[in-house]
């Protein structure tokens, strides 16, 4: 059985019901919106984020979920989908999970409007159910995600990212949404419990490990073909590169910065940068930090009794760092 199927097994019924509710939550009176959202739904990913919501809720609530849990999962998936649509516009990306992106098929203007529509639907799902606490969680996440993207753009121009600033960026950009998934799952069943903060932290740690893993793929750290160097081409300062910079003498540091600023489209130079980062131990350092975040997340689960939901969450955390793509 594939790992994702194993993770999903204890919440299979909830996920099937969620998919029905989610499809309804995306409906519009405008035929064009429905055509586009139908396209999105039929090309959905693994739906890891709703799975975090359901597994967290079931872990702390004796295997039971409620209407608020479904509401929380729908809000998360709507906001996540909206952010992906907008990201493709910002990055001028024409492919998403091997399919054409919305902006590639319907152009930027329509893609931005579809993203806005999905964001508003996420807010409305919470308001219609009077789930103001869930709305508060997701609103903070959207604010953090926007700030994280802008912080990354700002720092990319100056190339002055320290390791701490890098963690701030990925915490806001990526980890905050996974943190929202887990805190929302806890909040849906035990609104005023300490579990809400515990699982916010758990999700954040998972998200940090997830993003570092993504950064490692740029160096061909897994058997997924040759290194891509896309982050270097886009002048993104990721952890392996930051470490290599910190470990370099003045002359090599200048060569690295110059390579990223002025020669980031030169394939040969990008390959040289990748080789240098590997040689300086940048990948090994990033892997060590990723494992550290993973272990911190797993430590938070130790306080909860064993169950199939705890096992699935443990599997999920390990999958985050062991996945091949």
Mean pLDDT over 115-119 rounds to 84
Predicted pLDDT of residue 107: 74
Q: What is the pLDDT of residue 4?
A: 86
pLDDT tens, 225-253? 445 667 777 777 889 999 998 888 888 88
Q: Quick one: what percent of the chain has pLDDT higher than 90?
A: 46
Amino acid 60: pLDDT:
95
Q: Is residue 8 over pLDDT 60?
A: yes
- At 159, the pLDDT band (50, 70, 90 cuts) reads confident
Q: How confident is the model at residue 32 (pLDDT cuts 50, 70, 90)?
A: confident
**Looking at residue 82, what is its pLDDT?**
83
> What's the mean pLDDT in 79-106?
72
Domain total of the chain: 1
Domain holding 155, by residue range, is 3-322
Asked if residues 110 and 102 have their Cβ atoms less than 8 Å apart, the reply is yes
Average pLDDT, the chain: 86
Q: According to the model, what pLDDT value does residue 84 have? A: 79
- Quote the distance between the C-alpha of residue 223 and its chain's center: 22
CA distance 225 to 207: 24
For the segment 37-55, the average pLDDT, to the nearest whole number, is 83
Helix H, strand E, coil C: the string for 49-66 is: HHHHHHHHHHHHCCCCCC
Angle between helices 163-170 and 132-158 (to 10 degrees): 140
DSSP state of 190: -
Q: Please give the pLDDT value at position 91.
A: 66
Tell me the mean pLDDT in the region 65-92: 84
On the question of pLDDT at 300 being above 70, the answer is yes
Q: Please state the φ and ψ torsions of residue 40, each to the nearest 5 degrees.
A: -65, -50
Identify the pLDDT of residue 224. 46
pLDDT at 223: 47
Indicate the pLDDT class of residue 1, thresholds 50, 70 and 90.
low
pLDDT band, residue 185 (cuts 50/70/90): very high
CATH at residue 92? 1.10.600.10
> Which of 21, 7, 122, 5 minimizes the C-alpha distance to 55?
7
Quote the pLDDT of residue 208.
96
- With 60 as the cut, is the pLDDT of residue 194 above it? yes
Beta bridge partners of 95: 100
What pLDDT does 51 receive? 94
Residue 20 has pLDDT above 50, yes or no: yes
Between 106 and 198, whose confidence is greater? Answer: 198
pTM for this prediction: 0.88
For residue 129, pLDDT over 80 is answered with: yes
Q: Read off φ and ψ for residue 219, nearest 5 degrees.
A: -105, 10
CA nearest neighbour of 277 among 313, 228, 241: 241
Report pLDDT for 103. 74
pLDDT in tens, 211-227: 999 889 888 755 444 45
pLDDT recorded at residue 97: 60
The mean-pLDDT minimum among 11-25, 124-138, 193-207, 211-225 falls in 211-225
* φ/ψ of residue 27, rounded to 5: -70, 150
């Amino acid at each position: 059985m594939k790992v994702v199927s194993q993770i999903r097994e204890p919440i299979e019924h909830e996920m099937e019901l969620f998919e029905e509710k989610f499809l309804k939550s995306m409906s519009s009176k405008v035929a064009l919106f429905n055509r586009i959202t139908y396209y999105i739904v039929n090309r959905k990913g693994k739906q890891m984020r709703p799975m975090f919501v359901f597994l967290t809720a079931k872990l702390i609530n004796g295997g039971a979920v409620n209407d608020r849990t479904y509401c929380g999962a729908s809000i998360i998936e709507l906001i996540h989908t909206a952010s992906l649509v907008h990201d493709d516009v910002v990055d001028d990306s024409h492919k998403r999970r091997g399919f054409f992106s919305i902006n590639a098929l319907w152009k930027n203007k329509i893609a931005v409007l579809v993203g806005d529509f999905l964001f508003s639907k996420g807010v409305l799902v919470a308001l219609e159910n009077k789930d103001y606490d869930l709305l508060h969680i997701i609103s903070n996440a959207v604010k953090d995600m926007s700030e994280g993207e802008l912080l990354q753009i700002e720092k990319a121009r100056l190339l002055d990212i320290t390791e701490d600033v890098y963690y701030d960026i990925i915490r806001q950009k990526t980890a905050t949404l996974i943190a929202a998934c887990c805190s929302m799952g806890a909040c849906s069943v035990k609104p005023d419990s300490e579990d809400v903060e515990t699982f916010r932290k758990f999700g954040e740690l998972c998200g940090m490990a997830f993003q570092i893993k993504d950064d490692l793929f740029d160096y061909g750290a897994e058997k997924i073909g040759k290194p891509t160097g896309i982050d270097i081409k886009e002048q993104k300062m990721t952890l392996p590169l930051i470490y290599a910079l910190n470990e370099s003498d003045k002359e090599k540091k200048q060569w690295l910065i110059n390579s990223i600023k002025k020669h980031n489209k030169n394939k040969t130079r990008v390959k040289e940068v990748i080789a240098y980062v590997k040689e300086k131990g940048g990948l090994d350092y990033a892997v060590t930090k990723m494992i550290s975040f993973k272990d911190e997340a797993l430590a938070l689960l130790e306080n909860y009794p064993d169950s199939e939901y705890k096992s699935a969450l443990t599997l999920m955390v390990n999958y985050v760092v062991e996945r091949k793509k």
